[in-house]
Amino acid sequence: MNDSHNERMTENIQSKIFVIIEHVHYERIASESEGNTRSSRHEQRLRRYERSSRHFE
């Protein structure tokens, strides 16, 4: 494997970790407040990282 492939794989892993952390964070807030806490900014960020994750698979 070359360096650019390793960098892409690292970015892919980091973006997936970010998505998981964001999901857990907002799910925890939602369960604590029993409301819908998802902001449009969070939804946009989640979609962006999901797209970038699929790009590297």
What CA–CA distance (Å, rounded) separates 23 from 26?
5
The tokens describing 55, both together, are: 């790009």
The predicted-structure confidence for 1-57, as pLDDT tens digits, reads as follows: 688 889 999 998 998 898 888 888 877 777 766 555 456 666 777 777 777 766 555
> What is the average pLDDT score of the chain?
76
Range(s) of the domain holding residue 45: 3-56
Q: What is the pLDDT of residue 55?
A: 56
Q: What is the pLDDT of residue 33?
A: 67
Q: What is the pLDDT of residue 54?
A: 64
**pTM for this predicted structure:** 0.46
Task: Quote the number of domains for the chain.
Answer: 1
Cβ atoms of 53 and 19 closer than 8 Å: yes
Cβ atoms of 49 and 20 closer than 8 Å: no
